[in-house]
Every structure is written in structure tokens, then in C-alpha cells.
Amino acid sequence: MTSTFPGPAESGLTVVIPCFNEVDNVEPSYREITNELGHHSLELLYVDDGSSDGTLDVIHTLAAADPRVRYLSFSRNFGFEAAFSAGYRYASQPWVLHIDADQQFPAAESRKLVAAAEQGYDAVFGVRTNRQDPLLRRWGTAAFHFIGRRLLRIEIPPGATAFRLVRAELARKIVDLRLGTPYFLATVPRLTSRYTTVPVAHRARERGESKVGMGFLSSHAIELFVGFTRRLTTAASATALLAAGIGVLAAGAAAFGLLGANATAVTLFALLTVLLLVSSLTVRYLVVVGAGQPRPRQYYVRESNVAIDVEDRLFTSEDPGGPRRIDVQLGKGISA
């Protein structure tokens, strides 16, 4: 596979590092990334997702000492999807490498992603070969991929994770789609066929606590299953309509004494029929009409040391609560 675009080794990397209460991991992640990737034209873009534990203070210190360190700090915790979306949107280099702050993916493994991207791919996803996570999370991920890829026929890179290297222009196009149910892994195949996966090492978290629980994974999976295929909702609608038809027949049979039911049973059957019909129509409305509705912004930035769009800022004027703000028009830092 060949490409007319330069690969990441030649053109440069923005390493996007989402952080939420990772005060103990920010500096170690910085050292590891710069040690492994410092020979590239490099930008490190930390996205502080509303941390309350001093994470931003550590990032300030790193940014003051190293001009390659950039950061965005959200006005509150907006979640994982918002954090990496902001990082992808404001990456300045031609390629985006996503590494979470928890360091479970060794930065050295990114060399494998870079080597694959040099072959002409637009996106390369790491696949864990020795996943060091609790058994329940491993089972949950396996079930998620089985249901998504096998049953619902959603095109997802098999085994793909958030450890990924993506052409920055492609990453921004996906972020700017502002989908009702944003899901990066499933959106890449909708825009390009030039993606691949590579096996990478994985290690246990050494510091801090995981922010990803089964509740997050479950809701994330439901968003994918509803937003990227209509098989599930179509099956639900068909089942509801079938049940409603059966309810009508049963109500009629009860009314004529064929089931030996009294007036109460007839009423219950009729109410069940109406409920199922309404449920069926509601599901179709949410899928067909709701999917096209505008959605609020994913995040708001309170503080940064990069120029950002006005609509992404929580405040467009001086923010007395932040130690530093950015003049959006000129992109020039101004002391608060």
C-alpha cells in the first residue's frame, strides 16, 4: 500500500494525552513519551478533563519547562470522548498519537504503530496481546466486540483500542461530524478503508485508579449498538408490533369468551396493545427523527496555552478564575 502523504516519522506527531485525576501519572507519562519519541517533531497535548487532584498544576510545570507541552483544561469533567475529541481537534502536527495518561500502553509500543502507518494507512489501532485488566472488563470487551461485529454487523477494527495513530486531518473530520452518538472506532471505517491493527504489549496500571467502570462501558456499548446500526431498533420495533398484533387477537378472543376471560382481562389486553404500539412508534421516532437533531457541544475549555475557537471556550472574556487565558484572535498568551 502506498500513499502520497508523508508518514508520521517524516512529518511529525502530536501525542494526545487525556487526563482525569492522574496527578501521579502526568510526569512519568511525559518522561516516557519524550524518551521514546523525542527524536520526532513532537507536540505533547495534555487534555485535563476537569481534574480536581492537582493534575493541571503538574501540567503547568511541564509546559513552563518544555515548549512542546501544550494543554487544554475543561471547565468540568466532560468524559473520555470529549477529552480526546478536543485533543484531536487542536493537534498541530499532521499525525495524532493517542496515549492515555495511565501508561498501560508503553510508549515504546507506538513505534509499531508508526511503522504500520508508514505503509500508507490513515489509521493504525493497537490490539492488546496480554491485557492486564480485571477479568470482568476483559469479558465485557470480548462480548462487546462479538455483539457489535458478529451480530449487529458494525464494522469495527477487530480488537482495536484507544491506543491509536491517526492522520490528524481524518481525526478532525470525525470530531467535526458532531454525531449524535460519537464513536471513533466505528466512524473511521465509514470514512476510509485504509486502516489496520497491530498487536501491542499492555501492562497493569501502577498508579492511581481506573476511571472506566462497567457502567461506562455498558452505556458506551449501547450508544454504539443504537447509533451505528438499525438492526437492534428494527428488531425491537418488529417485536413490539408483533406483540401488539397478538394482543389484539387475544383481546378479541377474551371479549368473545374464547379464552374465558372477563372484562378486566379484555381491558388489560387492550391497554397492552396500545402500550406496545406507542413503544414501537417511539423507538422509530428516536432513531429516524432524533438522529438528525443538533447536539450541544461536547466540552468547554476554561484554560489553555493554545489558541482555540471562541465557541469552545466557556468564557470569551477574561476569566478571573484561571491563571492564564488565550487571546483567540491573535493566539497570544496573556497573563490573567
328 within a domain of the structure (yes/no): no
**Within this chain, do residues 209 and 235 fall inside the same structural domain, yes or no?**
no
Structure-block grid coordinates of residue 221:
456499548
**Predicted pLDDT at 305:** 94
Query: CA-CA distance, 7 to 78, in Å (whole number)?
Result: 32
- Looking up cell 491493527 gives 197
Can you name the residues that pair with 44 across neighbouring β-strands?
15, 69
Q: How many domains does the chain have?
A: 2
Contact 43, 15 (CB under 8 A): yes
Query: CA-CA distance, 36 to 109, in Å (whole number)?
Result: 9
Domain that holds residue 157: 8-213
**Within this chain, do residues 207 and 170 fall inside the same structural domain, yes or no?**
yes
323 within a domain of the structure (yes/no): no
**Predicted pLDDT at 169:** 95
Confidence bin at 155 (pLDDT 50/70/90):
confident
**Within this chain, do residues 166 and 285 fall inside the same structural domain, yes or no?**
no
- E runs forming strands in 99-227: 123-128, 164-167, 195-200
Q: Count of alpha carbons within 13 Å of 161, Cβ hemisphere only?
A: 22
Query: CA-CA distance, 89 to 92, in Å (whole number)?
Result: 9
**Within this chain, do residues 116 and 253 fall inside the same structural domain, yes or no?**
no
10 Å CB burial of residue 176 (0-12, 13-18, 19+) is: exposed
**Within this chain, do residues 105 and 236 fall inside the same structural domain, yes or no?**
no
**Predicted pLDDT at 334:** 34
- Please report, for the domain that includes residue 19, its CATH number: 3.90.550.10
Q: Please identify, among 181, 213, 245, the residue that sits at the C-terminal boundary of a domain.
A: 213
Distance of CA 64 to the CA centre of its chain: 29
Query: CA-CA distance, 178 to 83, in Å (whole number)?
Result: 14
Task: Indicate the DSSP class of residue 149.
Answer: I
> Based on C-alpha coordinates, what's the Rg of the chain?
24
Query: CA-CA distance, 195 to 156, in Å (whole number)?
Result: 10
- Of 160 and 295, the structure prediction assigns the larger pLDDT to 160
Query: CA-CA distance, 141 to 129, in Å (whole number)?
Result: 14
∠ Cα 47 48 50 (to 5°): 140
267 within a domain of the structure (yes/no): yes
- Report the SS3 class of residue 129: coil
331 within a domain of the structure (yes/no): no
Query: CA-CA distance, 125 to 184, in Å (whole number)?
Result: 11
Q: Please identify, among 185, 213, 241, the residue that sits at the C-terminal boundary of a domain.
A: 213
Q: What is the mean pLDDT of the chain?
A: 80
**Within this chain, do residues 88 and 202 fall inside the same structural domain, yes or no?**
yes
**Within this chain, do residues 240 and 145 fall inside the same structural domain, yes or no?**
no
**Predicted pLDDT at 321:** 45
Considering Cα of 7, then 71, then 64, then 59, what sign does the dihedral take?
Answer: negative
**In the chain, pLDDT over 90 holds for what percent of residues?**
41
Structure-block grid coordinates of residue 115:
511503522
Q: Please identify, among 213, 240, 263, the residue that sits at the C-terminal boundary of a domain.
A: 213
Q: Flag whether pLDDT at 307 surpasses 60.
A: yes
270 within a domain of the structure (yes/no): yes
Q: Flag whether pLDDT at 11 surpasses 80.
A: yes
Can you tell me the mean pLDDT for 95-115?
93
**Within this chain, do residues 106 and 190 fall inside the same structural domain, yes or no?**
yes
**Within this chain, do residues 122 and 268 fall inside the same structural domain, yes or no?**
no
**Predicted pLDDT at 335:** 32
**Predicted pLDDT at 333:** 38
Distance of CA 65 to the CA centre of its chain: 30
Query: CA-CA distance, 201 to 126, in Å (whole number)?
Result: 9
Closest CA to 282 of 225, 228, 244, 229: 244
Structure-block grid coordinates of residue 219:
452505556
302 within a domain of the structure (yes/no): no
**Predicted pLDDT at 34:** 95
**Within this chain, do residues 196 and 282 fall inside the same structural domain, yes or no?**
no
10 Å CB burial of residue 130 (0-12, 13-18, 19+) is: exposed
- Which residues lie closer than 8 Å to 121 by C-beta, 6 or more apart? 1, 3, 194, 195, 196
**Within this chain, do residues 138 and 192 fall inside the same structural domain, yes or no?**
yes
**Predicted pLDDT at 324:** 46
314 within a domain of the structure (yes/no): no
**Within this chain, do residues 204 and 285 fall inside the same structural domain, yes or no?**
no
10 Å CB burial of residue 289 (0-12, 13-18, 19+) is: exposed
167 within a domain of the structure (yes/no): yes
Contact 7, 114 (CB under 8 A): yes
